[in-house]
Amino acid sequence: MLLQSPRFVGEDNPPFELKGSLFTLTVLHLFHPDRAAIERHLAEKIKQAPGFFSNTPVVIDLDGVVDAPDEVDFSGLYQLLRGHGMVPVGIRNGSPELQTSARQAGLPALPESRAPGGAARKPERADPAPARSRIFSHPVRSGQQIYAPDGDLIVLGTVSAGAEVIADGNIHIYGALRGRALAGVKGDVEPRIFCQSLEAELVSIAGRYRISEQIDPADRGKAMQIHLVEDRLIIEHLTR
């Protein structure tokens, strides 16, 4: 009987590779460590959109923890979030002592995304010449994710429910927005989202978001634009 040699795994045939990628993360801004209060408020949020936070990666932002920072039970917070179906992936900001406690609980410290003083960071804009827009000329189907790095995303059709469109810059949708649209995903607060018919599951700019249930029914099905004003997400009608 002829025996086959085992497949050799080496430099020319590695078993895996590591690549950088972009993922949308939900940020939980923690202000005080009262676990009972956190659980009540979290239950209310999830009640507003059942299933929306299921298996959602979550980053815990500690920038607002000023009262009793030593009382943050990271292990308990981790279990609480997991119990509601969320997936805590790490923490950001906070004192060195808080970051040490978080690491001991298995939550790594992620890079900070805020400037000193807690203000939203406004990254430098690239020169107009290298900035490019991505044009997607087909409808975006459920399950698809379309991303435009370092520029705007222009969709010449409908974004279906269950689809996701993402851009570092603006998002223009010349059709109905029924899925998710996330602009300014690298922290830029200036981008806007434009659509001919707002029916979205979620809209977000620089991490500030609204889900379907938080959008005024009077705005649904209308041509709208979404932008930030003083860290608040504004949804308003497109003027002609």
pLDDT digits (tens, 9 = 90+) for 7-60: 545 556 777 776 655 566 678 888 888 888 888 888 887 776 666 677 778 888
Distances (CA, A) of 92 to 46, 59, 84, 86, 88: 23, 7, 21, 17, 12
- Provide the 3-class DSSP secondary structure of residue 205: strand
Sheet holding 208-211, edge to edge: 145-148, 164-167, 180-183, 202-205, 208-211
Query: What's the rounded mean pLDDT across residues 174-191?
Result: 91
Beta bridge partners of 193: 171, 226
Give the β-pairing of 145-148 and 164-167.
parallel
Tokens of 18: 């590591």
Model pLDDT, residue 137 = 92
Contact partners, residue 25, CB within 8 Å, separation at least 6: 57, 58, 59, 89
Q: Does domain 26-104 have CATH number 1.10.468.10?
A: no
Is residue 48 helix, strand or coil?
helix
What is the identity of the amino acid at 112? Answer: E
Q: CA-to-CA distance for 221 and 185, rounded, in angstroms?
A: 25
For the stretch 77-112, pLDDT in tens is 888 888 888 888 888 888 888 888 888 888 888 765
124 pLDDT tier (thresholds 50, 70, 90): very low
CATH topology of domain 134-237: Pectate Lyase C-like (2.160.20)
Distance CA 223, CA 207 (A): 22
Q: Where are the domains of the chain?
A: 26-104, 134-237
pLDDT of 141 reads 92
Indicate if the pLDDT at residue 5 is higher than 70: no
